[in-house]
């Protein structure tokens, strides 16, 4: 059965001027927050990004996940391990919260990232897949098929333009391993038919974390409070799992 996966996402904003990271780190960060939560708890600049995001209101739920990521070659990105050692075609996937979303493009995402070496990659051009319907309908089987045949299908990754909002649905994309340690500002607004936003206070965060790529342990946590900055590292002598890790405060 033939199916076309869309190519590069559409730019829907002009270039956005980003504040310095020293300022961005003091902003509240949001996890699947409602636009209303961002509007009432965010900064003027975050409210401006909300205005720039052209929600289509085709689905009942809108949410925003945004903040600063700490990126480094050995750190896990937001979406899980991306290991260059898995080969040149590692990490390709299609988003969606329900079975079949990869075929319908039912979920829409608006994404913006600051200039960095780990900009999300999308496949450059639309690709036509011709597979058994059972493979097509099963997202993980389809992804496996695409990954295993990436060269013959002509999959070619291209980074999104930095500091511009792009929009996509069932486009093929992947996280990229950064080439150096860096901060990355991330704005991801989503329109979903299934996933409701989180309520306050769960949707408001005040910390920036990074996890080890191999075993998902914390490697660093930065927490900004009222007039305070706390940087914490796990103490290898006291516990190793995510739940039991202990931290040495260095500030």
| Closer by beta carbon to Fe ion, 172 or else 220 | 172
Q: Least CB distance from residue 134 to Fe ion, whole Å?
A: 24
| Closer by beta carbon to Fe ion, 120 or else 232 | 120
Q: Give me the phi and psi of 38, to 5 degrees please.
A: -65, -40
String marking each residue 154-193 x if it binds Fe ion according to CB under 5 A? ----------------------------------------
Q: Least CB distance from residue 188 to Fe ion, whole Å?
A: 9
CB 82 within 8 A of CB 93: no
| Closer by beta carbon to Fe ion, 70 or else 175 | 175
Q: Least CB distance from residue 34 to Fe ion, whole Å?
A: 21
Q: Least CB distance from residue 23 to Fe ion, whole Å?
A: 27
* Count of residues near Fe ion by CB under 5 A: 1
| Closer by beta carbon to Fe ion, 93 or else 221 | 93
The Cα 160–Cα 11 span in angstroms is 9
State how far Cα 27 lies from the chain centre. Answer: 18
Site for Fe ion in 40-99 (CB under 5 A): 95
Report the residue number whose CB is nearest to Fe ion: 95
String marking each residue 88-127 x if it binds Fe ion according to CB under 5 A? -------x--------------------------------
- 3-class SS string, 180-237: CCEEEEEEEEEEECCCCCCCCCCCEECEEEEEECCCCCEEEEEEEECCEEEEEEECCC
Binding site for Fe ion (CB under 5 A): 95
């Amino acid at each position: 059965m033939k199916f076309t996966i869309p190519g590069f996402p559409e730019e829907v904003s002009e270039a956005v001027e980003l504040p310095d990271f020293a300022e961005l780190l003091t902003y509240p960060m949001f996890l699947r927050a409602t636009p209303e939560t961002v509007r009432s708890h965010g900064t003027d600049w975050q409210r401006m990004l909300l205005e720039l995001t052209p929600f289509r209101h085709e689905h009942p739920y809108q949410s925003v996940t945004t903040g600063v990521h700490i990126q480094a070659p050995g750190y896990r990105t937001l979406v899980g391990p991306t290991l260059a050692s898995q080969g040149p075609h590692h990490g390709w996937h299609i988003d969606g919260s329900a079975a079949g979303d990869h075929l319908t493009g039912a979920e829409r995402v608006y994404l913006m990232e600051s200039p960095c070496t780990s900009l999300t990659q999308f496949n450059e051009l639309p690709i036509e897949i011709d597979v058994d319907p059972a493979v097509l309908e099963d997202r993980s089987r389809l992804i496996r098929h695409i990954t295993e045949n990436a060269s013959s299908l002509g999959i070619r990754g291209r980074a999104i333009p930095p500091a511009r909002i792009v929009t996509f649905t069932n486009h093929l994309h992947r996280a990229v391993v950064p080439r150096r340690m860096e901060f990355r500002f991330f704005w991801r607004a989503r329109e979903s038919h299934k996933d409701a936003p989180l309520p306050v206070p769960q949707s408001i965060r005040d910390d920036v974390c990074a996890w080890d790529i191999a075993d998902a342990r914390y490697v660093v946590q930065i927490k900004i409070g009222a007039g305070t900055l706390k940087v914490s590292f796990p103490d290898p002598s006291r516990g190793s799992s995510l739940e039991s890790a202990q931290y040495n405060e260095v500030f």
